[in-house]
Amino acid sequence: MVRIPFKRLFLIIKMYPPQVGYFRPESLGEALEFLEREEAKVLAGGQSLIPMLKLRVLRPKYLVDIGGLKELSYIKEGDTISIGATTRHFELASRRIRGLEILQEAASKVGDVQVRNVGTIGGSVCNADPAADYPAVLTALDATMKVRSKKGTREVKAHDFFKGPFSVDLNPGEVLEEIRIPRLEGYRQTYRKVVRRAGDFALAGLALAIKLDSGVVKDVRIAFTGVSQGPHRAKEAEKVLRDSKLTKDVIKRASEASTSGANPPSDSRGSSWYRLEVMKRLLQTSLEVMANES
Amino acid sequence: MKVEPDQKVRINVKVNGVLHEAEVEPRKLLVDFLRDDLGLTGTKVGCDTTTCGACTILLDGRSVKSCTLLAVQAHGREITTIEGLSSDSKLSPVQEAFKDNFALQCGFCTAGMIVQATFLLSQKKDMTEEEIRDSIHGNICRCTGYQNIVNAIMDASRRMKA
Ligand SMILES: Cc1cc2nc3c(=O)[nH]c(=O)nc-3n(C[C@H](O)[C@H](O)[C@H](O)COP(=O)(O)OP(=O)(O)OC[C@H]3O[C@@H](n4cnc5c(N)ncnc54)[C@H](O)[C@@H]3O)c2cc1C
Ligand code: FES
Ligand code: FES
């Protein structure tokens, strides 16, 4: 018989985060100052961080709580849309932005109502779960991340920012301040995801933006989530579609091409093969809808 | 506000209209603060992993899962728990509707469901069955099969309009 020590048993029943210090800055400047000096982790909504603390995947000395910083919570509209890092999912889910309709659609599919009430876009982006929803959207739309530290500001393209599962281009002391997304006016946009159970992370998700002129594809952006180490931009499929009409044959070839370079995991939610099939179907049916509408 | 890992932090939180001042470790979960420190055991812990919604409370009027927030994150803010929905032993319309529609069996999910339904109805009075089902998917019930819960929420919405 395996004997579980009493203390271990207790941990299994109820999970507590490890001992940790806490800092609540009054401004972003104060947060950057603190992060420069101390071994600390940013806390935004906590919807990914607190579960990780409970599992002891992370053991920072301090948490720097930027969740209440008003200066980081905003949506500014211009030719580019600028979104503050601590803007909450529900705020994005309840705002239709012209030329960026896809963001509302993606935000309203994150987790559940309670998670959307607390979780932030910056937190989701920095957490970089390989099945998260925003990274695919930001990759498809060539968004730019504005990163701040005490030393200064730098900008990173989405394509370079997402480095792998739970890994982004952020150095110690750096905070994601803002996400900038170009406004794609005149594009049809859609974000769709397939889940096994309500509230699950995506088995596969598709971000699609397409510009048609008399039925001919002028521009198209396709990125998937859940099918690789990070967001998967389907360049091959884009190539098939560009300057073509959305005929049955073109759609079929684009869907087949979309899996080129994808490397989906096999896990309890679905096999790698199944995820590839879901990808093709997602793209095919989305394109069919758009072809019928035009 | 800066607290060392081995220190406690003083927080002010208004819970169900009453201002509480308390000292907690920064790592203390909000649900443990409510249940263990304030004795408000109406809020339940089902999964402890942000999945089941039994721990749902209102933070500044919006529903959140209190097993996945730190007590210190609630500093300076307002909380409503299931205990705060009724006054002078008079049930709220949502509570009445749950009772009248037999929307509970073991009752473990009920506090979270009622708080979540209260939040949803504060945002939108007229929800379709589809919308209700979609917006309670962060609340799991192992007993009822959900039908009576959905009925109760629709009924509550009618009562609140009447
Ligand atoms: C039940 C459940 C279901 C979910 N379902 C989905 C889903 O379907 N799709 C989906 O995409 N997500 C899902 N999520 C995750 C959700 O989107 C989280 O809200 C998000 O991943 C984290 O946001 P947060 O603000 O809570 O960040 P936190 O948990 O506070 O932080 C997450 C990480 O990012 C870092 N961080 C946060 N903000 C910054 C910043 N500005 N600069 C630098 N680093 C920062 C933190 O240090 C931490 O490492 C789900 C979560 C739960 C609990
Ligand atoms: S106990 Fe918080 S969601 Fe289950
Ligand atoms: S009534 Fe038993 S879990 Fe819902």
- The pLDDT score that the predictor gives to residue B89 is 84
- How far is the C-alpha of A50 from the C-alpha of A43, rounded, in Å? 9
- Say if residue A95 is in the same domain as residue A57: no
Provide the domain limits for residue A141.
Answer: 70-182
Local confidence band at A293 (pLDDT 50, 70, 90 cut-offs): confident
The residues near A42 (Cβ < 8 Å, ≥ 6 apart) are A31, A35, A63, A64, A66, A126, A175
Local confidence band at A196 (pLDDT 50, 70, 90 cut-offs): confident
- How far is the C-alpha of B72 from the C-alpha of B12, rounded, in Å? 9
ipTM > 0.90, yes or no = yes
- Say if residue A252 is in the same domain as residue A227: yes
Look at residue A241 and tell me whether its pLDDT is greater than 60. Answer: yes
Residue A1 lies in a domain: no
Residue A214 lies in a domain: yes
Please check whether residue B90 touches A, CB under 8 A: no
Interval A20-66: pLDDT, tens = 999 999 999 999 999 999 999 999 999 999 999 999 999 999 999 99
Angle at which helices B110-123 and B147-161 pack, to 10 degrees? 40
- How far is the C-alpha of B102 from the C-alpha of A139, rounded, in Å? 48
Cβ neighbours of A5 (radius 10 Å): 8
The residue ranking higher by pLDDT, B1 or B55, is B55
Residue type, B47: C
Does A17 contact B70 at a Cβ distance shorter than 8 Å? yes
Please check whether residue B4 touches A, CB under 8 A: yes
| CATH class, range B9-84 | alpha beta
- How far is the C-alpha of B131 from the C-alpha of A212, rounded, in Å? 33
Does A118 contact B69 at a Cβ distance shorter than 8 Å? yes
Reduce the DSSP state of residue B109 to 3 states and report it.
Answer: coil
State the CATH number of the domain containing residue A115. Answer: 3.30.465.10
- Say if residue A195 is in the same domain as residue A164: no
- Say if residue A127 is in the same domain as residue A216: no
- How far is the C-alpha of A49 from the C-alpha of B46, rounded, in Å? 20
- How far is the C-alpha of A216 from the C-alpha of A247, rounded, in Å? 10
Interval A144-191: pLDDT, tens = 999 999 999 999 999 999 999 999 999 999 999 999 999 999 999 999
Look at residue A278 and tell me whether its pLDDT is greater than 90. Answer: yes
| A65, A82, A98 - which closes a domain | A65
Interval B103-116: pLDDT, tens = 999 999 999 999 99
The full DSSP string for A188-202 is: EEEEEEE-SSTTPPP
Q: Which residue in A21, A54, A65 is closest to B4 by CB distance? A: A21
Query: Please, how many CA atoms are within 13 Å of residue A71, restricted to the half-sphere of its CB?
Result: 10
Does B138 contact A111 at a Cβ distance shorter than 8 Å? yes
- Say if residue A61 is in the same domain as residue A76: no
- The pLDDT score that the predictor gives to residue A13 is 58
Does A21 contact B120 at a Cβ distance shorter than 8 Å? no
Total tally of structural domains belonging to chain A:
3
The residues near A244 (Cβ < 8 Å, ≥ 6 apart) are A216, A217, A250
Calculate how close chain B gets to A104, using CA atoms only, in Å.
Answer: 16
Ligand 1: list residues with CB < 6 Å: A 41-49, 85, 110-111, 115, 119-120, 122-124, 126-127, 132-133, 170, 175-176, 199, 201; B 50-51
| A157, A182, A207 - which closes a domain | A182
| Residues B34 and B57 sit within 8 Å (Cβ to Cβ) | yes
- Say if residue A140 is in the same domain as residue A162: yes
CATH number of B93-161: 1.10.150.120
Calculate how close chain A gets to B106, using CA atoms only, in Å.
Answer: 21
Look at residue A10 and tell me whether its pLDDT is greater than 50. Answer: no
In the block, which residue shows the tokens 């073991």?
B106
Look at residue A2 and tell me whether its pLDDT is greater than 60. Answer: no
| A156, A182, A208 - which closes a domain | A182
- The phi, psi pair for A165, rounded to 5°, reads -60, 125
Domain residue ranges of chain B, discontinuous segments joined by +:
9-84, 93-161
Residue A94 lies in a domain: yes
Of B72, B14, B6, B80, the closest CA to residue A43 belongs to: B72
Residue of minimum CA distance from atom 21 in ligand 1? A124
Look at residue A9 and tell me whether its pLDDT is greater than 50. Answer: no
**Residue A126 is encoded by which pair of tokens?**
């920095």
- Say if residue A249 is in the same domain as residue A167: no
Local confidence band at A198 (pLDDT 50, 70, 90 cut-offs): confident
Residue A43 lies in a domain: yes
Residue A224 lies in a domain: yes
Interval B7-20: pLDDT, tens = 999 999 999 999 99
- b/e map B108-133, b = 16+ CB within 10 Å: bbbbbbbbbbbbbbeeeeebeeeebb
Look at residue A277 and tell me whether its pLDDT is greater than 60. Answer: yes
Percent of chain A with pLDDT over 90: 90
β-strands A216-225, A232-233: how paired?
A: antiparallel
- Give the distance (Å) from ligand 2 centre to CA of residue A115: 11
- Say if residue A105 is in the same domain as residue A150: yes
CA A34 to chain centre: 27
B47 lines ligand 3 (CB under 6 A): no
State the CATH number of the domain containing residue A58. Answer: 3.30.43.10
Q: Work out the mean pLDDT of chain A and round it to a whole number.
A: 94
| Chain A / chain B CB contacts < 8 angstroms | 102
Give first-to-last CA distance, chain A, whole Å: 67
Please check whether residue B39 touches A, CB under 8 A: no
Provide the sign of the torsion angle of the four alpha carbons A245, A247, A253, A255, taken in this order: positive
Q: Work out the mean pLDDT of chain B and round it to a whole number.
A: 97
- Say if residue A285 is in the same domain as residue A192: yes
